[in-house]
Amino acid sequence: MMNEPVNSRRSNVAVPSRLFWLLIPAAVLALAIVWLLQANPLQSFNNGAPPVENLTIERTILDHNGLQLLVRAGGSEPMTIAQVQVDDAYWEFEQTPQGTIARGDTAWISLPFPWVLGETHRVNFVTNTGATFEHEIAVAVPSSAVTSASLWSQAILGAFVGILPVAIGLMCYPALRGAGPGLMAFLLAMTVGLLAFLLVDTMVEALEFAERSAAMFQGSVMVMLVAVASFLVLMSIGRRHGTPTGLALATYIALGIGLHNFGEGLAIGAAFTAGAAGLGTFLVLGFTLHNITEGIGIAAPLLKTTPKLESFVGLTLLAGGPAVFGIWIGSLAYAPQWTAIALAIGAGAIAQVIVEVSALIVRSRNLGAAALLTPSTFGGLAAGTAFMYVTAMLVKI
Amino acid sequence: MLKWAQTNLNRRRLLGGGIATIGASAICTSSAPAQDTHAHHGDATPGVDAAIPAHRSAHGAMMTVGAVDNERNGFDPTAMLTDWYTGVVSELPDGRKERSFEITVEEKEIEIAPGVMFPAWTYNGRVPGPALRATEGDRLKITLKNNGSHPHSLHFHGIHSARMDGVPGAGVIDPGEEFVYEFDAKPFGCHLYHCHALPLTRHLHKGMYGLFVIDPDPARHLEYADVAQSRLLGSPENAQWQEMAMVMNAFDTNFDGENEFYACNTIAHCYAKEPIKIDRNRPVRIYLVNITEFDPINSFHLHANFFDYYDQGTTLTPTLKTVDLIMQCQAQRGILEFTFKEHEPGLYMFHAHQSEFTELGWMGMFDVSETLS
Predicted confidence (pLDDT) per residue in A65-95, tens digit? 899 999 999 888 899 999 999 999 999 999 9
- Reported as a single tens digit per residue, the pLDDT across B294-315 is 999 999 999 999 999 999 999 9
Instruction: State the pLDDT confidence band at B368, using cuts at 50, 70 and 90.
Output: very high
Under an 8 A CB cutoff, do B17 and A278 touch? yes
DSSP E strand boundaries for A65-221: 66-73, 81-86, 90-91, 94-96, 106-111, 121-127, 132-137
Which residue in the set B17, B113, B117 is minimally distant from A129, CB to CB? B117
Under an 8 A CB cutoff, do A112 and B35 touch? yes
User: What would the mean pLDDT of B313-334 be, rounded to a whole number?
Assistant: 97
Q: Nearest CA to CA, how far is B197 from chain A (Å)?
A: 23
DSSP E strand boundaries for chain A: 55-63, 66-73, 81-86, 90-91, 94-96, 106-111, 121-127, 132-137
Under an 8 A CB cutoff, do B117 and A201 touch? no
Instruction: State the pLDDT confidence band at B24, using cuts at 50, 70 and 90.
Output: very low
User: What would the mean pLDDT of B138-167 be, rounded to a whole number?
Assistant: 96
Q: Nearest CA to CA, how far is A75 from chain B (Å)?
A: 16
User: What would the mean pLDDT of B31-43 be, rounded to a whole number?
Assistant: 34
| pLDDT at residue number A207 | 93
Q: Nearest CA to CA, how far is B83 from chain A (Å)?
A: 28
| pLDDT at residue number A275 | 52
Measured at the CA of A105, the angle between CA A138 and CA A130, to 5 degrees, comes to: 65
Under an 8 A CB cutoff, do A117 and B11 touch? no
Instruction: State the pLDDT confidence band at A392, using cuts at 50, 70 and 90.
Output: confident
Torsion over CA of A169, A239, A223 and A361, rounded to 10 degrees? Answer: -50
Q: Does B5 touch chain A (CB under 8 A)?
A: yes
Which residue in the set A82, A138, A153 is minimally distant from B19, CB to CB? A153
Q: Nearest CA to CA, how far is B352 from chain A (Å)?
A: 14
Identify the closest residue of chain A to B360 by CA–CA distance: A89
Q: Note which residues in 301-360 of chain B have CB less than 8 A from chain A.
A: 356, 359-360
State ipTM.
0.74
Residue A290: list chain B partners with CB under 8 A. 1
Q: Could you tell me what percent of chain B has a pLDDT over 70?
A: 83
| pLDDT at residue number A332 | 76
**Mean pLDDT taken over chain A:** 84
Under an 8 A CB cutoff, do A281 and B118 touch? no
Tell whether the model's pLDDT for residue A267 goes beyond 70: yes
Which residue in the set A84, A88, A118 is minimally distant from B359, CB to CB? A88
Q: Note which residues in 105-134 of chain B have CB less than 8 A from chain A.
A: 113-118
Q: Nearest CA to CA, how far is B313 from chain A (Å)?
A: 33
User: What would the mean pLDDT of A13-26 be, rounded to a whole number?
Assistant: 80
3-state secondary structure of B301: strand
- Is B117 assigned to a binding site? no
Contacts with A196 (C-beta within 8 Å, 6 or more apart), sequence order = A354, A381, A384, A385
Query: What is the bridge-based pairing of β-strands B325-329 and B297-302?
Result: antiparallel
| H/E run at residue A247 | helix A246-273
Q: Which of B1, B29, B360 to mutate to test the interface with A (most CBs of A within 10 A)?
A: B1
Which residue in the set B18, B30, B268 is minimally distant from A279, CB to CB? B18
- Is B205 assigned to a binding site? no
Under an 8 A CB cutoff, do B2 and A83 touch? no
Least confident of A9-13, A217-221, A290-294, B350-354: A9-13
Under an 8 A CB cutoff, do A126 and B260 touch? yes
b/e A33-43 (16+ beta carbons within 10 angstroms → b): eeeeeeeeeee
| H/E run at residue B297 | strand B297-302
Residue B17: list chain A partners with CB under 8 A. 277-280
Tell whether the model's pLDDT for residue B35 goes beyond 50: no
| pLDDT at residue number A92 | 92
Tell whether the model's pLDDT for residue B34 goes beyond 80: no
Under an 8 A CB cutoff, do B360 and A90 touch? yes
Residue A277: list chain B partners with CB under 8 A. 5-6, 9, 17, 20
pTM (2 decimals)? 0.77
Identify the closest residue of chain B to A139 by CA–CA distance: B11
Tell whether the model's pLDDT for residue A13 goes beyond 70: no
Residue B55: list chain A partners with CB under 8 A. none
Q: Taking the CA atoms of chain A, what radius of gyration do you get in angstroms?
A: 26
Contacts with A132 (C-beta within 8 Å, 6 or more apart), sequence order = A124, A125, A126, B253, B254, B256, B260
User: What would the mean pLDDT of A362-376 be, rounded to a whole number?
Assistant: 76
Instruction: State the pLDDT confidence band at B328, using cuts at 50, 70 and 90.
Output: very high
Residue A132: list chain B partners with CB under 8 A. 253-254, 256, 260
| pLDDT at residue number A151 | 85
Tell whether the model's pLDDT for residue A273 goes beyond 80: no
Instruction: State the pLDDT confidence band at A232, using cuts at 50, 70 and 90.
Output: very high
Q: Note which residues in 12-71 of chain B have CB less than 8 A from chain A.
A: 13-21, 23-25, 27-28, 30-32, 34-35, 38-39, 41-42, 45, 61-66
- Reported as a single tens digit per residue, the pLDDT across B202-232 is 999 999 999 999 999 999 999 999 999 999 9
| pLDDT at residue number A281 | 64
Residue B114: list chain A partners with CB under 8 A. 82-83
Residue A201: list chain B partners with CB under 8 A. 1
Considering only CA atoms, which of B300, B282, B271 is closest in space to residue B365? B271
Residue A211: list chain B partners with CB under 8 A. none
User: What would the mean pLDDT of B6-22 be, rounded to a whole number?
Assistant: 37
- Reported as a single tens digit per residue, the pLDDT across B46-82 is 333 334 444 454 456 888 999 999 999 999 999 999 9
| pLDDT at residue number B102 | 97
| pLDDT at residue number B372 | 60
Tell whether the model's pLDDT for residue A174 goes beyond 90: no
Instruction: Give the count of Cβ contacts less than 8 A between chain A and B.
Output: 185
CATH topology of domain A55-137: Immunoglobulin-like (2.60.40)
Q: Nearest CA to CA, how far is B358 from chain A (Å)?
A: 8
Identify the closest residue of chain A to B252 by CA–CA distance: A130
| pLDDT at residue number A116 | 87
- Reported as a single tens digit per residue, the pLDDT across A177-188 is 877 878 888 888
Q: Could you tell me what percent of chain B has a pLDDT over 90?
A: 80
Residue A340: list chain B partners with CB under 8 A. none
Which residue in the set A201, A271, A282 is minimally distant from B6, CB to CB? A271
Tell whether the model's pLDDT for residue A30 goes beyond 90: yes
Instruction: State the pLDDT confidence band at B191, using cuts at 50, 70 and 90.
Output: very high
- Reported as a single tens digit per residue, the pLDDT across A328-359 is 888 776 788 888 898 898 899 889 888 888 88
Least confident of A237-241, A385-389, B122-126, B134-138: A237-241
- Is B40 assigned to a binding site? no
In angstroms, rounded to a whole number, what is the distance separating the alpha carbons of residues A352 and A251?
Answer: 12
DSSP, residue by residue, A1-70 = -TTHHHHHHHHHHHHHHHHHHHHHHHHHHHHHHHHHHHH-GGGGG--SPPPP--EEEEEEEEETTEEEEE
| pLDDT at residue number B10 | 39
| pLDDT at residue number A288 | 78
User: What would the mean pLDDT of A183-202 be, rounded to a whole number?
Assistant: 87
Tell whether the model's pLDDT for residue B39 goes beyond 50: no
Under an 8 A CB cutoff, do B17 and A274 touch? no
Q: Note which residues in 165-224 of chain B have CB less than 8 A from chain A.
A: none
Tell whether the model's pLDDT for residue A3 goes beyond 50: no
User: What would the mean pLDDT of B361-369 be, rounded to a whole number?
Assistant: 96
Least confident of B5-9, B15-19, B130-134, B350-354: B15-19
| pLDDT at residue number A338 | 86
CATH topology of domain B70-369: Immunoglobulin-like (2.60.40)
Measured at the CA of A96, the angle between CA A94 and CA A98, to 5 degrees, comes to: 85
Tell whether the model's pLDDT for residue B289 goes beyond 60: yes
In angstroms, rounded to a whole number, what is the distance separating the alpha carbons of residues A278 and A306?
Answer: 43
Least confident of A227-231, A264-268, A362-366: A362-366
Least confident of A58-67, B164-173, B245-254, B307-316: A58-67
Identify the closest residue of chain B to A66 by CA–CA distance: B31
Residue B35: list chain A partners with CB under 8 A. 66, 112, 114
| pLDDT at residue number A198 | 85
